[in-house]
């Protein structure tokens, strides 16, 4: 019989190896026992096994996406504060919503958003991607200006409440995707249909002058939640590992859509 550590000859009745000092167990356990922490023969500390966690490329990509998302939200807040505190904020907001001007504002926003998203998807051109992301954040800040000024006027507490509720909902939906392991890519067709219907209702309301009530805001929050689930699913499974700018922009757009209609819901409730 041999010691499993130093391979010296030992007696079957020995409890310890006389050469290295290792404790001898049953033959079955000897084959898979860990090496002793200390070798009695030469008093050299043996190397204990180490468990190493290596970050996968997908995990690194997901971290980049959410770092960019948080950075985008922070930059949006800074730009919005600068706009609101400027001397031309009220004048600009009034011109944006007066008459039928809101139609042209929405068309311009849709155009800028579409171009920015296409540019963000440009492969191997990070400068173009970041410029597109910055342009999109500025566009979001500009289109939010009238709604935020209205909230400050008629429902001041609506803004912090909407921020908290939006953050809670978005974090909950994100956790749902990553923890459940279920796929949400099936939502794409429903998001497209819902987006077309909502756009038609919005433009009809502006043209014909009717008000989209509280129920419409609730439906749009639901639509934004579906979009967030779909985009988070794409981050987990579909996007390439170098597409973190485009992915963060897509998530940012869904978060802003949810925030818009939660804020609008609070304003309508106070009015």
- 226-230: average pLDDT: 96
pLDDT confidence band for 241 (50 / 70 / 90): confident
Instruction: Please determine, for residue 126, whether its predicted confidence score (pLDDT) is greater than 60.
Output: yes
Residue with tokens 């997908």: 58
Q: Which residue has the tokens 């173009």?
A: 128
Q: Are 73 and 80 spatial neighbours (Cβ–Cβ below 8 Å)?
A: no
3-state secondary structure of 86: coil
Query: Residue 261: left (phi > 0), alpha (psi -120 to 50), or beta?
Result: alpha
Report the mean per-residue pLDDT for the chain: 85
| pLDDT at 54 exceeding the cut of 50 | no
Reference 254, options 219, 216, 228; nearest CA is 228
Is the pLDDT at 53 greater than 70? The verdict is: no
Helix (H, G, I), strand (E, B) or coil at 206: helix
Return the pLDDT at 229: 96
Q: What is the pLDDT, as a whole number, of residue 26?
A: 45
Least confident of 32-36, 102-106, 153-157, 203-207: 32-36
Residue 245 tokens read as 């700018």
Lowest mean pLDDT among 34-48, 63-77, 99-113, 188-202: 34-48
pLDDT-derived band of residue 160, with 50, 70 and 90 as boundaries? very high
> What crossing angle do the helices spanning 101-120 and 188-208 adopt, rounded to 10°?
160
Cα–Cα dist 223/34, whole Å: 56
Residue 205, H or E segment: helix 188-208
Least confident of 98-102, 146-150, 204-208, 267-271: 267-271
Angle at 255 between CA 261 and CA 132, to 5 degrees: 120
Contacts of 29 by beta carbon, 8 Å cutoff, 6+ apart: none
At 208, the pLDDT band (50, 70, 90 cuts) reads confident
Region 89-100: what's the mean pLDDT? 90
């Amino acid at each position: 019989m041999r010691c499993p550590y130093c391979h010296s000859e030992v007696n079957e009745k020995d409890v310890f190896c006389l050469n290295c000092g290792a404790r001898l167990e049953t033959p079955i356990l000897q084959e898979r026992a860990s090496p002793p922490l200390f070798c009695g023969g030469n008093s050299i500390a043996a190397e204990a096994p180490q468990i190493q966690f290596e970050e996968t490329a997908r995990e690194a990509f997901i971290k980049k996406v959410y770092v960019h998302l948080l950075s985008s939200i922070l930059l949006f807040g800074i730009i919005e504060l600068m706009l609101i505190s400027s001397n031309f904020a009220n004048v600009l907001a009034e011109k944006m919503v007066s008459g039928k001007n809101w139609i042209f504002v929405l068309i311009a926003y849709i155009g800028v958003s579409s171009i920015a998203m296409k540019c963000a998807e440009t492969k191997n051109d990070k400068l173009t991607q970041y410029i597109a992301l910055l342009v999109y954040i500025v566009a979001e800040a500009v289109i939010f200006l009238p709604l935020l000024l209205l909230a400050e006027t008629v429902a001041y507490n609506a803004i912090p409440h909407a921020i908290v509720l939006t953050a809670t909902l978005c974090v909950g939906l994100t956790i749902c995707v990553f923890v459940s392991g279920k796929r949400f890519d099936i939502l794409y067709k429903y998001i497209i249909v819902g987006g077309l219907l909502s756009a038609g209702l919005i433009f009809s309301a502006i043209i014909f002058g009717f008000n989209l009530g509280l129920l419409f805001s609730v439906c749009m929050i639901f639509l934004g939640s579906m979009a967030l689930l779909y985009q988070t699913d794409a981050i987990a499974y579909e996007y390439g590992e170098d597409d973190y700018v485009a992915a963060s922009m897509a998530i940012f757009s869904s978060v802003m859509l949810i925030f818009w209609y939660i804020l609008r819901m609070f304003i309508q409730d106070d009015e």
